Amino acid sequence: MIDLVVALEAELAGRSLPPGMRVTFCGVGKINAALAAAAILARPDCRQVVNFGTAGSLRPELAGQLLRVSRLLQRDMDARPLAALGNTPFEEGAAAGVIDLGGQGVSLSTGDNFVTAPPELASDIVDMEGYAIAKACMRAGVPFACWKYVTDLADENATANWQDNVKKGADAFMALAESGGLTPARGSR
């Protein structure tokens, strides 16, 4: 079974999933995402996790695109001087900071804050769930893939732009899912 994690029902716009996929709507933010990921990973038939959702970007050329994420960062982890910005103190290896899924794609920084100006930890796109889900999958050794649709430019118009574009993201993601284009990048079980 492929488990799809999406923050909000609006991000799928009521679309039905292809056979072999089930969805969990986790809610907004890293804690909600981590809790949902833990429950999903405990299922005996979970063989792959895919995170889809909307994202903002400070790069206008990315607006309106469905993008594969290849690197995930935790932009709001700031425990300096105990660890570098984005790294969890007292953790080693990939679990401490950047999660590299490999292959072509964009960088995504996750944080429990709504981005309206360039964050100190730079990335191509921003969200509020991806890193938490990726870290849970990495620790469980379950393949993970992440796809984000850029609805807005992470500015003062982000809310209105998100509302105008969220259905376009659902359409783009469902076309990819129906074509069989969802592939994991890392992990095994």
CB neighbours (10 Å) of residue 60?
9
Write out pLDDT tens, residues 125-147.
999 999 999 999 999 999 999 99
> What pTM value is reported for the model?
0.93
Regarding predicted confidence, which is higher, 188 or 64? 64
pLDDT digit string, tens, across residues 39-80: 999 999 999 999 999 999 989 999 999 999 999 999 999 999
Instruction: Give the confidence band of 91 by pLDDT, cuts at 50, 70, 90.
Output: confident
Q: So what's the pLDDT on residue 183?
A: 64
What average pLDDT score do residues 146-174 get? 95
**b/e code 73-100 from CB counts within 10 Å (16+ = b):** bbbbbeeeeebebbbeeeeeeeebbbbe
Closest alpha carbon to 185 in 104, 87, 106, 131: 104
Listed by start position, the domains of the chain span: 2-178
With 0-12 / 13-18 / 19 or more C-beta atoms within 10 angstroms meaning exposed / middle / buried, residue 64 is: middle
Banded pLDDT at 181 (limits 50, 70, 90): confident
186 has a pLDDT exceeding 50:
no
Nearest to 109 by CA among 144, 72, 146: 72
Dihedral sign from CA coordinates of 82, 141, 6, 153: positive
| Angle of the 30-41 helix axis to the 130-140 helix axis, nearest 10 | 30
* DSSP codes of every residue in 41-100: HTSTT--EEEEEEEEEES-GGGTT-EEEEEEEEETT---TTSS-TTPPTT--GGGGS-EE
Which CATH architecture does the domain made up of 2-178 adopt?
3-Layer(aba) Sandwich (3.40)
Residues 92-109 pLDDT 10s: 876 678 999 999 999 999
